[in-house]
Structure 1
Amino acid sequence: MNLSQARRCVLYARLSVTKEESVSIARQLESCRRYANARGWEIVGEFVDDGVSATANRPEARNGWTSLLAADDFDAVVIWKVDRLARRVLDFLHADETLQKRGAGLVAVEDPIDMTSPQGRAFAVMLAVFGEMEAEAIRARVRAARAQLLKDGRWPGGGIPYGYRSIANPAGPGRMLVKDPERSPWLVEAVKMALQGATVNAIATWLTDHSAPLPRRQTVRQPAKSATWNRQTVDGLLRNPVLAGMTPHNPGRPKSAKRADPFAVVRDEHGRPVVNESLAVITIEEFTALQLMLDSRTSPQARKRCDRQTTSPFLSRVARCDECDVYMCRGTNQKRPVLYCPACRQTMGRTALDPYLVQRLLVERGSESLGAATVEDRWAFAGADELARRAVLVTQLESLRIRRGVVGRSFDDERVLVRWRPANVGRQADLPDVVIAASP
């Protein structure tokens, strides 16, 4: 693609979690617009990945870049700098190759590159190399700074465990962790109940019934929490190594990430866990025993069967966790129906998921023949019978997978991966015959 012949372009901007005014999304897009207008190009689309790390996420794994590639009729992609697209050389080259295959060129406003010449491509690769080196240097500095904080006994940041709070370090700069006098007694009692065999749900119920203070909100932007405790919160509380005075390697791990190893803690030169006795509420031996007890329970739904809230069997053994490749289970979270993965504990609310799947089934497969009728006819015949409705859905599904999301259990259609069976290959699944009355 010769960029001098380009007429239509799209803009792309990316920003990591760290907000810097000098490279904000708005500033990037404004610079790209000025560049496109100066060259007389028509802007046919703007695509953004906000809060997305280029080191941890390849371009093809980002929603904004994927949407850009799905757009039609553009000759060039305008970015602010090369590192806005990729921080790894291979990722940059792969993204550029994808654009070349569709006849589009890549333009960087602050890095004057011409991807149509060998010299320009070589220069672009050099910029990508420097970007990768800069990213690695940043990671090294962060690791070194965190290691020094831990060595000095200071808190490296992240979510504050329940029962604790951070205060200004009285012996120098930074902050340190101490027990929270308001919440620590509740933590001690919850751990005691768990060691005596109480289930996670029983502890959550006890904390709610006795109006135990909920975890503190970490930021003013965070929405208000529910007035009740839930199983996930209590389970995370009981698995935090701070209970035994140990420091986890990554206390700031995102809540949406896969559950961390509770024994991945800071250790001394002899491999022994470094323990801060002032923070411990139980011994390391008791913490180990507690983890074994929690892991031995195959199902987190530990209430007595008569006390459990029934949920619809519509998606029973239908959806799989995209990360763990296991069937997601039915359950409730704060009395709302959810699907959860028994392995990694990711969840998705069903209040919006079920209607979304029904709509897609009827719109995309409603006219498909199913026995002597159509999918839409079979669905109408099923009525409110959830098992019959499930049977209709299963005949059309090749697979249904739920992938992890940043926003926890909230519904996001991009987390729902639906693959239908080829047309007219649906299974009967013991569906009853449907008789369609002729119009009078």
Structure 2
Amino acid sequence: MHTKYERGCVLYARLSVTKEESVSIARQLHSCRSYAEARGWEVVGEFIDDGVSATANRPEDRKGWAALLATTDFDAVIIWKVDRLARRVLDFLHADEALQQRGAGLVAVEDPIDMTSPQGRAFAVMLAVFGEMEAEAIRARVRAARLQLLKDGRWAGGGIPYGYQSAANPDGPGWVLVKDASRQPWLAEVVRRALDGATVNAITTWLTTEGAPLPEGSLARRKSGATGWNRQTVDGILRNPILAGMTPHNPGRPKSATRADPFAVFRDEAGEPVVNEALAVISTEEFTTLQRLLDARSAPQARQRSEREPTSPFLSRVVRCDDCNVFLCRGTNQKRPVLYCPACRQTMSRSAFDPYLVDRLLAERGTEPLDGSTVEAHWTAAGTN
């Protein structure tokens, strides 16, 4: 297969945080190339996963590793260390199995492993075990450090909530949250409107119309040409426990699509939420009321299909929004059927609108012939739902 070289190989490098100079991508690849040159192997490809956690991402879910497996004509994969490939034993074994199925072996520069012998495979598994133990130790240290920051009243990281900013800790090292004077009036008005019954959509429209400053570093600011607010941002602001002076136990939005629990906050030894009155905009009781209001007004499209209430298809995708010139869709608002515009999010109650249109239809077209009968007779037979 390879005439000039004993065998062909590919190189694989991974790094979770790009600032780790000691194990940089460049250094990993350099070491792997030197190893291949010393063995007389031909390097036929190099693949990297930069900024990818081995704990949160299995090898088969990474773009670099997937591209490597899609490559042909190699006999070995050279990595710098076992933990560059996987930090879980099961992930390591799955990756090795994928290579075995194509007749390729795995070589680690810093870990002298030989996957062709039972003893070598056993040693490689042991290294993977130690890698998994190290990853768990790192997670434990991070959790402990975050917990200590919260106990000290310091900012533990994550996105800065709207209406707040970070400042140097006056009582020691690190950072603390303080109110942002320029955005606090907007935040207070958003909360007031929500508690008074305004919908998230209405508040979003108001913020955009009034030109309220967007959150620093928000998605809305990063989108090309986007100058307005969106309902997801407003909903997230209203669900942040910092409004009541409470701190999310794990600051920052989770990677999964599920909404974070607004009551998963840092608590004292008695289980009571720790409240920083200097940051509070509303009381904890008002925050609880606000969450009930938001849950009651949640758009049905945000719920799982099994949890949605059925609505009539009458006029759905038929009526157009006069402002946006797009078809209205069916939905519910506070459990009442509505038609809503997917662009501007304005709604129209169907409780009076549907009967009015039915009466108009029957009055103007009811006596017209239809399939041997009349429109009114067919409508009565079909029912109004």
2:249 corresponds to: 249
CA separation in 2, counterparts of 1:222 and 1:181? 23
Q: Report the CA distance between 1:310 and its aligned residue.
A: 5.5
Q: CA deviation at 1:255?
A: 6.7
Unaligned runs of at least 5 residues, structure 1: 317-328, 335-440
Partners in 1 of 2:266 and 2:6 — Cα distance?
55
Residue 73 of structure 1 is matched in structure 2 by: 73
Alignment partner of 1:288 is 2:288: yes
Aligned to 1:209: 209
Counterpart residue identity of residue 8, structure 1: G
Q: Which amino acid aligns with 1:51?
A: G
Q: Which has the larger radius of gyration?
A: 2
Letter in 2 for 1:233: T
In structure 2, the CA distance between the partners of 1:14 and 1:310, relative to structure 1 (3 Å rule), is farther
State the Cα deviation string for residues 246-266 of structure 1 (Å, max 9, x = none).
110111335775321111111
Name the counterpart of 2:97. Answer: 97
Change (3 A) 1:127 1:332: farther
What residue identity is the alignment partner of 2:102? R
Which residue number corresponds to residue 144 of structure 2?
A: 144
How many Å apart are 1:288 and its aligned residue? 1.4
Q: Secondary structure at the match of 2:28?
A: helix
| Mapped partners of 1:87, 1:333: distance in 2 | 47
Paired with 2:326 and 2:78, the residues of 1 have a C-alpha distance of 49
Shift, 1:309, TM fit: 3.9
2:299 counterpart residue number? 299
Corresponding residue of 1:403: none
In structure 1, distance between residues paired with 2:232 and 2:127: 44
| TM-score, normalised with respect to structure 2 | 0.75
Task: State how far apart, in whole Å, the 2-side matches of 1:333 and 1:67 are.
Answer: 42
Matched residue type, 1:97? E
Equivalent in the alignment of 2:176: 176
What pairs with 1:8-407 in structure 2 (closer than 5 Å)?
A: 8-17=8-17, 19-217=19-217, 226-253=226-253, 257-299=257-299, 306=321, 309=324, 331-332=342-343
Describe the superposition over 1:162-218 as per-residue Cα deviations: whole angstroms up to 9, x where unpaired. Answer: 000110000111111111111011000001111111111211121122221111238
CA distance in 1, matches of 2:217, 2:182: 15
Deviates more, 1:111-120 or 1:182-191: 111-120
Distance 1:51 1:225, change over 3 A: farther
Do the aligned residues in 2 keep the contact of 1:8 with 1:42 (CA within 8 Å)?
yes
2:263 aligns to what SS in structure 1? coil
Aligned mates of 2:256, 2:90 — CA distance in 1: 28
Deviation at 1:153, TM superposition (A): 0.6
1:429 aligned residue = none
Unaligned runs of 5+ in 2: 303-318, 330-339, 346-385
Cα RMSD (Å)? 3.1
Does the 8 A contact of 1:6 with 1:76 survive in 2?
Answer: no
How big is the shift at 1:332? 4.7
Q: Are the structure 2 counterparts of residues 11 and 309 from structure 1 closer, same or farther at C-alpha, using a change threshold of 3 Å?
A: farther
1:118-156 Cα offsets, whole Å, 9 max, x none, are 222122112111111111111111111111111111110
Cα drift, residue 42 of structure 1: 2.1
> What is the TM-score with the length of structure 1 in the denominator?
0.66
Task: Give the aligned residue type for 1:107.
Answer: V
Please say if residues 6 and 75 of structure 1, whose CA atoms lie closer than 8 Å, have aligned partners that are also in contact. no
- Give 1:289 shift: 1.5
Deviation at 1:305, TM superposition (A): 7.9
Match of 2:381?
A: none
SS of equivalent to 1:139: helix
